[in-house]
Chain A
Amino acid sequence: NAGVTQTPKFRVLKTGQSMTLLCAQDMNHEYMYWYRQDPGMGLRLIHYSVGEGTTAKGEVPDGYNVSRLKKQNFLLGLESAAPSQTSVYFCASSYRARGMVADTQYFGPGTRLTVL
C-alpha cells in the first residue's frame, strides 16, 4: 500500500515550457486535490476532483489545468510555465463522505518545480 505517490520529485523548466505532474493513490479515495506551497505561506488549493471525470477550481487555478480520467490518478498540467509557478506541489486524496475521518486528506511527498 503506497498511499499517495507523485511523479516526478524534481523538475526544472524554462519559461514557456509545458509539463504534467502525475498523482496516483491506491486507497480508493473519491476526492483528490492539488496544492502548491510557497515560502511563508500555507498550502493553497489549485484544483480538486470529487470523482472520476470531474474537476473544479480551487483558490489559485490560473495557469493550471487538471484531468481525472481514472479514479486513482489526478494530473496537473502547466501549459506555459512562468517563474511565478516555481513552488512545491502536493497532491492529496480523501474519502467522499463528510465526517472527521473523511475530511482527513492524505498527502504525497511533493514535487519541487523550478521555472527559470
Chain B
Amino acid sequence: DQQVKQNSPSLSVQEGRISILNCDYTNSMFDYFLWYKKYPAEGPTFLISISSIKDKNEDGRFTVFLNKSAKHLSLHIVPSQPGDSAVYFCAASWGYGNKLVFGAGTILRVKS
C-alpha cells in the first residue's frame, strides 16, 4: 500500500521552460512534505519542504504547492536548467521520530 505516489516515472522539459512534478498521498496524518533531488551514485539532497498548514512555499526557482483537500502536492521549477536533470523524490513526514515515507521518484531531464 503506497502512501506516497509519484505517478510519472519520467518527465522531459526544454531548458528555460517550467517543470512540474506531481505527488499524491493517502495518509492524512502526514504533516510535513519534502522534495529531495538525487544524482546518480549520490545520496538524496534536500530541496524544499512545506508544512501541512501552508499551501505554498517558494525558494528561488523552486515552488511547492500543497492541496490538502486533494491530498496532492507539486513542485514547480522555473526556469528549468540542464543541471536540474536528476531524480526527484517526494516524501512525507509524520509522527515521533520524524519518519519519512518516499514516493518512487520522477526522473527529470532538462534538454538544452
Q: Are A107 and B43 in contact (CB under 8 A)?
A: yes
For B36, what are the chain A residues with a Cβ–Cβ distance below 8 Å? 107
Considering only residues 61-112 of chain B, those with a C-beta below 8 Å from chain A are 89, 91, 93, 96-105
A90 on interface, CB distance cutoff 8 Å: yes
Residue among B93, B98, B101, B102 facing the most chain A CB atoms (10 A cut-off): B98
Excluding A42-B102, A58-B99, A109-B42, 17 further A-B contacts by CB distance (< 8 Å) are A31-B97, A35-B102, A41-B104, A42-B89, A42-B91, A42-B105, A43-B102, A44-B102, A56-B97, A94-B98, A100-B49, A100-B51, A103-B32, A104-B46, A105-B98, A107-B36, A107-B44
Interface size bracket, A side: 20 to 34
CB distance from A38 to the nearest CB of B (A): 10
- Taking a contact as CB atoms closer than 8 A, the residue among B41, B51, B97 that contacts A110 in the complex is B41
B34 on interface, CB distance cutoff 8 Å: yes
Chain B residue nearest to A109 in the complex (CB)? B43
Q: Are A40 and B98 in contact (CB under 8 A)?
A: no
For A98, what are the chain B residues with a Cβ–Cβ distance below 8 Å? 31, 98
Q: Are A31 and B98 in contact (CB under 8 A)?
A: yes
Interface size on B, residues (CB 8 A): 29
20 example contacts (A-B, Cβ-Cβ < 8 A) are as follows A35-B102, A40-B104, A42-B4, A42-B102, A43-B102, A50-B96, A50-B97, A59-B101, A90-B44, A98-B31, A103-B34, A104-B46, A104-B49, A105-B98, A107-B36, A107-B43, A109-B41, A109-B43, A110-B41, A110-B43
Considering only residues 42-90 of chain A, those with a C-beta below 8 Å from chain B are 42-45, 48, 50, 56, 58-59, 90
Q: Are A106 and B97 in contact (CB under 8 A)?
A: no
Residue among A90, A104, A106 facing the most chain B CB atoms (10 A cut-off): A104
B45 on interface, CB distance cutoff 8 Å: yes
Residue among A33, A44, A103, A106 facing the most chain B CB atoms (10 A cut-off): A103
